[in-house]
Structure 1
């Protein structure tokens, strides 16, 4: 239950900050195609969310991350299910808060008539949509590749033997990674890279724009930001796991670095040797003075 609440609360904060930034961009009727402001917002959202749930769950914030870690034995299936439920419900609540905060702005923007697409469409504040003229297979590949890259970066930063960055700086590094991926892969399908980030707000959007319109739009596009990130994260997790296995067995990495367990064994051995040396010295002194 504690893990569920942590993932729910932190994912809610992530979606609140990220989608509030999209709403500001939308209501200002910005004509620029720059994704940097939104990327920064989602990066800061990740950083804030990690401060909340990092000590409790590791701040997965993403069902694709949880599922991929489960496939490599880093997360138990039952706990993974609770994480996913928390993430999706937290994303739903985050979208609800954005809608409540900017309710009057929605009315000013669309005249009180909620529209998914078009000049006054606001649904893209909550969930992703494909760009005009981009086929569905292309958006699926986009999601697989972008989430695969994200997962590789996440595992590299979380790897125990990676001493390139301190523990204190890791949340900031995660934020930069999310910001970079968001900016790099937004144009095709909005860079969801997170099933909860799309599905939770999409479910909320169904109450605002209608269930049929939300889930049937763009030739049932809704499955792409759910399945694509999961496939990509699993591939990324296994690729990085295979990479570290090769480095350990065929490189020089394992000869120079030690895991926490290795360091504990070395420390115990050193302490034992010190005790033995002291005992041997005491015997010698006894013989000399005896």
Structure 2
């Protein structure tokens, strides 16, 4: 029986909600300090494991994009129609906002809670943000990391890949790798929805800078899809 649009919408909504709640939650609640919290490595695995878990939970329903850049990439690669991608992106964005909202409801009820700049695991760059990399470094990193992320997705889900059953694991681990390298630069987005959700609630610099985390991942995803479709898939 064909999966309904509503089921796909719901799957993408819930999957993105979980990604933001658990990934950003690991940074906000579990802590970036490796001495008293999970540290940057732990945060990296939280994002990656969220993708692995959701891949096996909803992958058979919607493909588990939970990321507008992936949906755009699938359209460019010819694997998805633009109309379907549009409602995927709406579901993903709403799911990310809901995930950030749930995270806010949890952490705001802690006695010492303070809504600081780039709160709720928001992405950013520049003075005051983690490694204080500038906008150029941030854009390049986000575009390149998304390019690599999409290559893993295209390759691991290809019908030519005899190890396709491990696609969810490969995709999740690639996101772990990207976070290990990139957290200090931008906090790592490679996912416009993941950035939009926390930024809307955090406001301030996070909201001012969110355009970067929409534009750069889409550029990276588009380039990756073009390379995959025109070069690698034909090999």
TM-score by length of structure 2 reads 0.87
Partner of 1:130: 125
Aligned to 1:48: 53
- The answer for the alignment partner of 2:231 in structure 1 is 243
| Residue 100 (1) aligns with residue 108 (2) | no
1:62 Cα deviation (Å)?
A: 0.5
Please give the residue correspondences for 1:177-256 in structure 2 after superposition, counting only pairs within 5 Å. Answer: 177-206=174-203, 214-216=206-208, 221-247=209-235
2:31–2:39 contact (8 Å) kept in structure 1 = no
Q: Return the offset for 1:41.
A: 0.5
Change (3 A) 1:140 1:33: farther
Q: What RMSD, in angstroms, separates the aligned Cα atoms of the two structures?
A: 2.2
When residues 200 and 52 of structure 1 are mapped into structure 2, their CA distance, relative to the original with a 3 A threshold, is same
CA drift at 1:136: 1.1
Match of 2:66 among 41, 53, 61: 61
2:13 maps to what in 1? 8
For residue 64 of structure 2, give the secondary structure of its aligned residue in structure 1.
coil
Query: 1:175 is matched with which residue?
Result: 172
2: distance between equivalents of 1:160 and 1:91?
A: 30
The CA deviation string for residues 219-244 of structure 1, in whole angstroms up to 9 with x for no partner, is xx221111000000111111122333
1:81 paired with 2:86, answer: yes
Q: Deviations over 1:157-213 (max 9, x none)?
A: 0111111x241x22222211111111122221111110000012212333xxxxx55
Q: What SS does the corresponding residue of 1:67 show, helix, strand or coil?
A: helix
Structure-2 change in CA distance of 1:130 and 1:30 (3 Å)? farther
Answer whether contact 2:133 2:185 (CA < 8 A) is retained: yes
- Identify if the C-alpha distance between structure 1 residues 26 and 109 changes in structure 2 by more than 3 Å, giving closer, same or farther: farther
TM-score, normalising length: structure 1: 0.72
Higher helix share: 1
CA distance in 2, matches of 1:30, 1:88: 34
CA contact (8 A) 1:14 1:48 kept: no
Distance in 1, matches of 2:35 and 2:101, equals 23
2: CA distance, partners of 1:55 / 1:21? 27
Structure 2 CA distance for partners of 1:33 and 1:235, relative to 1, 3 Å? farther
* Whole-Å separation in 2 of the counterparts to 1:224 and 1:5: 27
Distance 1:38-1:108 versus aligned 2 partners, 3 A rule: same
For the pair 1:142 / 2:147, whether they are aligned, the reply is: no
* Residue 224 to residue 157, structure 1, CA distance change in 2 (3 Å): same
Aligned length: 226
* 1:51-74, Cα deviation, whole Å (9 max, x unpaired): 332111100011001011112221
Conserved in 1, the CA contact under 8 Å of 2:143 and 2:219?
A: yes
Deviates more, 1:172-181 or 1:224-233: 172-181
| CA apart distance, 1:13 | 1.0
Structure number with greater CO (CA < 8 Å, separation at least 6) is 2
Q: Give the aligned partner of residue 273 of structure 1.
A: none
Select between 146-155 and 51-60 the one with higher mean Cα deviation: 51-60
Larger radius of gyration: 1
